[in-house]
Chains A and B, each alone.
Chain A
Amino acid sequence: MKGIIFNVLELFVEQEVSPGAFDEALEEVELISDGIFVGPKTYPDEDLLALVGYFSEKLSIEPFPLVRAFGRFALPHLAARFPNFVEGHTHPKTFLLTVHGVIHVEVRKLMEKTKLPDFSYEDPAPNQLIMYYRSERKLCALAEGLILGTGDFFETPISIDHSECMHRGADACKLELVFEDGGPSRI
């Protein structure tokens, strides 16, 4: 996983748990890397999972809602780091539709050794969007969080029905989104 994700995690922990909590975690948790995460470098996925496990236990929050909360927190920060990707969008739906074909494609060009998930889309109605998520990492909680964060960013509430999940043996996670504002305006 890229260092940038660890950096956003650090921000999340410092703000949402307590200042100094990240350094404490680094002391407590046994990591494969040395814990000095910088954005452009790549670190073992296990380190991220170990940190998540540590906070889950410490805060008595299940890993899934924790990762989702992290995703929700992360999106505005990712958007701030890469303003080009949100420019021109006024609605979360049009933005989400570019995640697979544009954003992650560009991310792959900008950074070495990325492992990005696979998304496919269905667009059944203006106020709906179905996203199919596939990844070895099975980080659908992160996807959910990032989607909710997208809603926050564009100030449009989004409800998610995670009707099929890789963790329950599905081939892909089916995320059925409903945009509470009725979808992007057609002007």
Chain B
Amino acid sequence: MADQAEFERLQKLHRRTVRKVEVLENLIEEKTRALYQANQSLEQANDELEQRVDERTDELARALRVATEANRAKAEFLANTSHELRTPLHGMLGVAEYLVGTTQDPKQEEALDLILRSGRQLVELINSVLDFEKLDAQKFELELLPFSPRDLVHHVVWLFRERAKEKGVALEAELGLLPPFAVGDELRLTQVLGNLVSNAVKFTTEGSVTLRAKCLDPETQDELHSLPSVTSSVAILWQVKDTGPGIDERRRQSLFEPFEQAEKSTARMHGGTGLGLAICKGFVELMGSQIILESTVDEGSNFCFTTIHQLAPTKVTSVVPDLPAADGILTLVVDDNGINRKVAKMMLTRLGCEVEVATSAKDALELAAQQPFDLIFMDCHMPIVDGYRATQELLSRLGTACPPIIGLSATSDRTKEKCLQAGMSDFIQKPANLKALSTALENWAGREDA
């Protein structure tokens, strides 16, 4: 009887257990199906997501290509236009410069002065736009040649002394120990320091602007008291200090950004593109340094940077004979552009030269074979045969009888290097002014006649 009860108990338990298993089986099946479906929709979602990511990546890549292309086209357009603008502008300026001193009428003098000043401002503006574009596109290369740091400082001070005097601000150069010649990009350094000094003079109303330069040990940054041997290098600390209004912290942050000016009203009051400091920053960075600005509001600002230079024994192009005038010097101007030819001829004539002109390299070769020129002014960029090849040709045909050749070009970076490599003696950046031409004549022509 007890066995029977035990049997029934186990039977009930067994039956219930079997049903439990069924329930669990169903549950498992249900869950598996749910899992499978969840997995499927996850996979699908994943596929869709991947596809959308791919599409979006493509879209972005396309947009980037378009934007880059547009930017490049814009930069190129800007560069081309600026270039095109410079040629007629040079013509205008040349004519105006020629006319200065030819009239007694003070009204005309004034008008001429206005034309010259506006024109030069315009040239400066175009140059800075071009520089900026080139820096922006990382296409800028420094032109490393020997220069005199001392002369550079004096030159920059000389450039702004009139403006400082007009404002009643003292502009001073303070020179520490400096090497007679160092290798660097003189033109860019002049541009940077000029910009900093120009700003300092612009904003300072009383007190002084000081341009300092001195040698530091490139390793320790300590001031040097004697120069190392010629084969080594030095660091030069350049400093532009003023007693102007100072620049507050907030504005210091964005000062070197393109199109920024410390005061938004500055543009109206003082002019300028807002590119100056951005370009300075670019140049100084290209030289491996950084502009540091310290400034206290109401006390003044101090911009400085340090550049490293190889020492140079002498300046390569420093043969400077001291013959001032150019009377009777026979020159040849080679330029395919009519206005440029005319302007150069006018200026050289005014300086006392005899001037012949050639419109192409071919012309120039013929003329040079016929007449013993004292000096040739050669446009670098001419169609068919450019100035560099023309120079090489002249040198190989005339040999030692070939007169010194001076390159003329509107573009400036590395052009001087290229000119010297081609065998030219010097380079003048367009627009050539009377002073530059006169200096070239002084340097390169006339000693035999003297």
Contact = CB atoms under 8 A, between A and B. Distances in A.
Interface of A: 19-20, 23, 26, 35-38, 40-41
B20 A40 contact: no
B16 A23 contact: yes
B16 A36 contact: yes
A20 B415 CA distance: 108
Contact of B20 (A20, A23, A36): A36
Given A19-B9, A20-B9, A38 B27 contact: yes
Contacts of B13: 20, 23
B20 A38 contact: yes
Interface residues of B, number: 9
Nearest to A27: B12
B9 A38 contact: no
Contact of B12 (A23, A36, A37): A23
Interface in B1-52: 9, 12-13, 16, 19-20, 23-24, 27
A35 B16 CA distance: 9
Given A37-B20, A38-B23, 4 more contacts: A23-B12, A26-B16, A36-B20, A38-B24
A20 B9 CA distance: 6
Nearest to A14: B13
A128 B16 CA distance: 45
Contacts of B16: 23, 26, 35-36
A41 B19 CA distance: 14
B82 to A, nearest CB: 68
A41 B9 contact: no
A89 B16 CA distance: 37
8 contacts: A20-B12, A23-B13, A26-B16, A35-B16, A36-B16, A38-B20, A38-B24, A40-B27
A27 to B, nearest CB: 8
Contacts of A36: 16, 19-20, 23
A99 B13 CA distance: 34
Contacts of A40: 27
A35 B23 CA distance: 11
A19 B7 CA distance: 12
B27 A41 contact: yes
Nearest to A34: B19
Contacts of A41: 23, 27
A37 B17 CA distance: 10
A69 B24 CA distance: 29
A35 B15 CA distance: 12
A36 B20 CA distance: 6
A-B complex: 5 closest residue pairs judged by Cβ atoms: A20-B9, A23-B12, A36-B19, A38-B23, A38-B24
Contacts of B20: 36-38
Contacts of B12: 20, 23
Contacts of B27: 38, 40-41
Nearest to B22: A36
Contacts of B23: 36, 38, 41
Contacts of A35: 16
Contacts of A38: 20, 23-24, 27
A91 B90 CA distance: 95
Contacts of B9: 19-20, 23
Nearest to B10: A20
Interface in B166-187: none
Nearest to B8: A20
Nearest to B15: A23
A154 to B, nearest CB: 32
Nearest to A23: B12
